[in-house]
Amino acid sequence: MNGKRALIAMSGGVDSSVAAFLTKEEGFDCAGATMKLFSNEDIGVEGESRCCSLDDVEDARSVANRLGIPFFVFNFSDNFRREVIERFIAAYKSGATPNPCIDCNRFLKFDKFFSRAKELDIGHIVTGHYAAVYYDTASRRWGLKKGTDESKDQSYVLYSLTQEQLAHTLLPLGGMSKTEVREIARDNGFINAKKRESQDICFVPDGDYAAFIERYTGEPNRPGNFVDGEGRVLGRHRGFVRYTIGQRRGLGLSLREPLYVCAKRAADNTVILGRGEELFSKSLTASGINLIACERISSPLRLRAKVRYKQREQWATVEQTAEDRLRVDFDEPQRAVTPGQAVVFYDGSCVVGGGTIE
């Protein structure tokens, strides 16, 4: 692979556009590419979604033209449907709460996109994530660090990167703030300099993931029982995929005291409610693990961990109990630890690894 050639994953947003600019400024022979992940027919909506739309493709093309670099559109819709959408649906139907952005990074951006770069004899892929790649000479391993701007840090969603992927990935925005990125875009006349960020799941633009699952599968979400910890029926729910761990509002029940969703049981279509204190737990297990800083955790480590994207890191002891299993024991009980979400571990600013909460 040619180490001075770089393929930039251009979403049409300001971050990836500035990443392309900075990479070109570093002297790389650059090309830009947008991944076509789905059509509106795939997700059962009319009009354009706020991500991966025709407008996004044209914004990315506009920036590529302004930079004078080639631009491509890669159709990965079959892979996206199989590796992201169908995993998303299967997780919800099993009672978990998935993070499709992590799956998109793992199976599309740093797998299919990376493979396409290799086919084109391009030595690096570039994204607009706020994180940093480095090489540790002591361990002889590639590492991943948090972005300097903690409010924008995206290392959590990149914990699944392999050593090969890290060795061929450039993350130019790792030491920058969003304000600095927008200034560069404005100074260079990029069409998307003021473009707002989407907070939605890209293939569920209206945010109603339960309705999306119904449309996609053609299967209605079956009502079932709300029960308490002793199994007493408290009322009826509208399909357990509609509820998330920690939820209190929108249950549609008249209760004597505030109760929260504490668990979901797919086997009998049941949602378990409990008091606020029942949401807290001191330990979890995770599978689907990927370690960056080491090949294996050979003895319990004291690390900071977080169980959701925006959570502050919490002190914990992390132990690898099997080839693909970790146990995490927190110093303090954590609220609403949710199966299907990622737990990611940090040693200072460095990502040690992570896995999927069971």
User: For residues 177 and 179, what is the distance between their CA atoms, to the nearest angstrom?
Assistant: 5
206 annotated as belonging to a binding site for a ligand: no
Q: Are strands 71-75 and 29-36 parallel, antiparallel or unpaired?
A: parallel
User: Do residues 286 and 328 lie in contact, with contact meaning Cβ atoms separated by under 8 Å?
Assistant: yes
Establish whether 262 is a catalytic residue. no
Separation of alpha carbons 93 and 220, rounded Å: 12
**Annotated binding-site residue? 9:** yes
C-alpha dihedral sign at 157, 21, 177, 346: positive
Query: Among residues 184, 146, 225, 220, which one has the least CA distance to residue 63?
Result: 184
Active-site choice (30, 51, 52, 104)? 104
Q: Is 13 annotated as a binding residue?
A: yes
Spatial distance between the Cα atoms of 333 and 276, rounded to a whole number of angstroms: 12
- The reply to whether 15 sits in an annotated binding site is yes
Closest CA to 113 of 242, 122, 222, 58: 122
Residue 35 labelled as part of a binding site: yes
User: What is the end-to-end Cα distance of the chain in Å, rounded?
Assistant: 38
294 classed as catalytic: no
Greatest C-alpha distance within the chain: 67
Task: Please name the residue that has the structure tokens 């770089």.
Answer: 6
Instruction: For CA atoms 281, 221, 236, 252, give the dihedral sign.
Output: positive
Catalytically annotated residue among 30, 51, 52, 202: 202
Number of alpha carbons in the 13 Å side-chain half-sphere of residue 132: 16
Q: Is 348 annotated as a binding residue?
A: no
Instruction: State yes or no: 103 annotated in a binding site.
Output: no
Is 228 annotated as ligand-binding? Answer: no
Whole-angstrom Cα distance, residue 195 to residue 13? 7
39 is in an annotated binding site: no
Check whether 176 is labelled as a binding-site residue.
Answer: no
Which residues define the annotated binding site?
9-16, 35, 128
Which residues define the annotated binding site for ATP?
9-16, 35, 128
Catalytic sites, residue numbers: 104, 202
